[in-house]
Structure 1
């Protein structure tokens, strides 16, 4: 955090989770951020992707995350709300923002414009005309193309936003008629398991450009790059970069188009984990101080596709191993559905007062947490060591 004030809600840094648990034994859930790991991931992405990397702020808007992305060389930010715009202005004032929500209110558009946003996503002529009426000729409409369902993603993101080719092309034509300089974007869906989906998007966009005769200089291939959960069946990120680089070489570079992407999960997942406490142990179940209405919300939607790595620590921070049993895991609320979608294989001596650290929560864990039953924790701690199993294993 060199050169910045301490991030809101962050405790002092600790060398390891073991040291944090031993020192504090927290009774509330704690989101653990690993800026060293996050910076390494971001630098790898900046070096590997054949174009510009935007960070999708929606997956984790914590100030420390934005500062770390900036330190790693990221200068472009995908924002989708006034809060995210304000956070980028506050934390990385030299950043370039792309307002990639295609359904905005007039007040949101005015605020974004006043804050320096010049790139606005649209997926239809009415949205284009609304944004244009509230800005000026320097506004860059980023026209969003819908990708066909079944492109290999866990979450399909084209059922809500994105234009089918006819509407996409009509919106491009209208932008050109208005004297604006359009750009193009698409999104293959979150946690995409098939690199070929990115080539499909580039091919579809280029086919539409050919039909309209409109030249562009910027194409954002969206996010969707995967994180690697316990059961994830996906090739390495390098395979995605290779597919995109080849498509760029064949299709977009000859047209003078620069590529961009807007990863969130792939950049952020390994950069954070969630530390929860076992509040009650029963013979075949554990009751945790966080669950699907809190930092584990996304597991409810992702099920086995988002099966999280985890480990058990005792109240002194020591790793617990031994013969395992299968435990149902319940969250703290009064709702009977507050239960993880998969059992936890924990050591049989798991006990009240032990801690479970769930990894790959850096993306969406904090941002999706609700305040149901008043059971919510914003607490964040900084951990220097990586989660065990990654490049520099933590010693406990």
Structure 2
């Protein structure tokens, strides 16, 4: 199988895919479709690779680097337990994500709370359980956090999210470091250093460091190098002004993965050693001692470890204006279980998952069952010309932002998430039922 598939995926002589030692036909029969399948061995191995390579890369420079799993990519209490097993920490962005992380056994001191608009209740809960850091995103939040921490009689550990002006990779909607967007405090405008002053002066806040995130699907180390240069310049400027050298710098995540065959990915080993060397150069230029470093890969751990299994319904062929034909293959899911294509124009691939075919390939488009013409899962893919109702299709690299963005549009039921390993399957998130759907609706009396 190509690099877009998780490492235990193989195709048997009968044409059926197997993942984690499990036949997808049996998984579909037992758990239904659509179905999110997580390759446990693959996900754990990717987490361990980030841990080991970043530890080694920064260890050469005499400092530590913590890896925070970005839970927004995919979160369950079982995955939380896996991340703890692999010695990762956890980044959460809401009260709900915090509760799932805690339920999975992640010690609160290993959790960081993000979010550009945290509620008072979320802040209070985070402080009461003792999260390891709260990443502040605005002047308003600094004041609110200080007041709540004072009222509770605790000191809040704070990092300031900095908008460096360096943007790399990804769709406009997932850009996170240009000036005109909702995240962070601008370095260029002076907002970032003013935020550091306010946190440092606050009675109930402890300034731990600075944080940035420059984008998603990043392939170029140059973007990380420039971001590090600006971050360490800010750190040095604040140290010269205040006499305080912040003990931690977080460079975020955004490491690219392969969604379609032949697409390039940013491998953890290359990223770790090149980023560590870039940080060393930035520190040498800015001056100061080494801080503790941290990163936040999410998609790069969970994305390649997952696939989505669908069952084919209607198949039809249409004529193209430029000549030729395209086959539309409709499956039993769609934009309700994978929002990324319609939201970001994301590209995926697909394959016939449960049998062999000797039919020549046909230009195909995999579409969902929603009442939207944009409900397209895979825009262009070569599938056997005899794909028909009842066939299973597998879409790789859907481990990130599938289930966490799933919805009930058109009254569809959100799929289950299972993990597979050594021939065994475990449910992480159960499938919605019709009873669930009806229970949310308040019937008239």
Residue 238 in structure 1 maps to residue 274 in structure 2: no
Residue 349 in structure 1 maps to residue 386 in structure 2: yes
The CA RMSD measured in Å over matched residues stands at 2.3
Residue 190 in structure 1 maps to residue 204 in structure 2: no
SS at match of 1:89: helix
Residue 131 in structure 1 maps to residue 171 in structure 2: no
CA drift of 1:64 comes to: 2.3
Residue 327 and residue 190 in structure 1: after superposition, are their counterparts in 2 closer, same or farther (change >3 A)? same
Contact 1:85 1:115 in 2 (8 A): no
Residue 312 in structure 1 maps to residue 352 in structure 2: yes
Residue 82 and residue 320 in structure 1: after superposition, are their counterparts in 2 closer, same or farther (change >3 A)? farther
Distance 2:382 2:47 in 1: 32
CA drift of 1:192 comes to: 1.4
Residue 324 in structure 1 maps to residue 361 in structure 2: yes
Distance 2:341 2:120 in 1: 35
Which residues of 2 match residues 240-259 of structure 1 at below 5 A? Answer: 240-252=271-283, 254-259=288-293
Aligned pair partner of 2:185 in 163, 177, 184: 163
SS at match of 1:290: coil
Aligned pair partner of 2:127 in 77, 88, 113: 113
Distance 2:135 2:413 in 1: 33
Task: State the number of aligned residues.
Answer: 366
Contact 2:169 2:218 in 1 (8 A): yes
Distance 1:280 1:149 in 2: 46
Distance 1:371 1:251 in 2: 47
Aligned residue for 1:85?
98
Aligned residue for 1:39?
44
Residue 300 and residue 149 in structure 1: after superposition, are their counterparts in 2 closer, same or farther (change >3 A)? farther
TM-score of the superposition, structure 2-length normalised? Answer: 0.77
SS at match of 1:189: coil
Aligned residue for 2:231?
205
Residue 93 and residue 64 in structure 1: after superposition, are their counterparts in 2 closer, same or farther (change >3 A)? closer
Aligned residue for 2:333?
290
User: Which one is further off, 356-365 or 111-120?
Assistant: 111-120
CA drift of 1:48 comes to: 0.9
Distance 1:56 1:319 in 2: 38
From the CA coordinates, give the structure whose radius of gyration is larger: 2
Residue 150 and residue 157 in structure 1: after superposition, are their counterparts in 2 closer, same or farther (change >3 A)? closer
TM-score of the superposition, structure 1-length normalised? Answer: 0.86
Distance 1:183 1:246 in 2: 20
Contact 1:185 1:222 in 2 (8 A): yes
Residue 260 in structure 1 maps to residue 260 in structure 2: no
Aligned pair partner of 2:374 in 313, 328, 337: 337
Aligned residue for 1:273?
307
Distance 2:23 2:246 in 1: 48
SS at match of 1:333: coil
CA drift of 1:22 comes to: 7.1
SS at match of 2:307: strand
Residue 347 and residue 375 in structure 1: after superposition, are their counterparts in 2 closer, same or farther (change >3 A)? same
Aligned pair partner of 2:22 in 12, 16, 19: 16
Distance 1:123 1:23 in 2: 46
CA drift of 1:86 comes to: 0.5
Distance 1:247 1:172 in 2: 24
Distance 1:250 1:70 in 2: 32
Distance 1:162 1:226 in 2: 22
Contact 1:57 1:84 in 2 (8 A): yes
Residue 25 and residue 225 in structure 1: after superposition, are their counterparts in 2 closer, same or farther (change >3 A)? closer
Distance 1:341 1:278 in 2: 13
Aligned residue for 2:196?
172
Residue 363 in structure 1 maps to residue 400 in structure 2: yes
CA drift of 1:352 comes to: 0.6
Residue 82 and residue 68 in structure 1: after superposition, are their counterparts in 2 closer, same or farther (change >3 A)? same
User: Which one is further off, 196-205 or 30-39?
Assistant: 196-205
CA drift of 1:376 comes to: 2.5
Contact 2:259 2:349 in 1 (8 A): yes
**1:269-321 superposed Cα distances (whole Å, 9 cap, x missing partner):** 122110011111113211111112x2221122343xx42242112xxx33446
Distance 1:346 1:385 in 2: 30
Residue 248 and residue 296 in structure 1: after superposition, are their counterparts in 2 closer, same or farther (change >3 A)? same
Residue 242 and residue 319 in structure 1: after superposition, are their counterparts in 2 closer, same or farther (change >3 A)? farther
**1:233-253 superposed Cα distances (whole Å, 9 cap, x missing partner):** 454332221221113333449
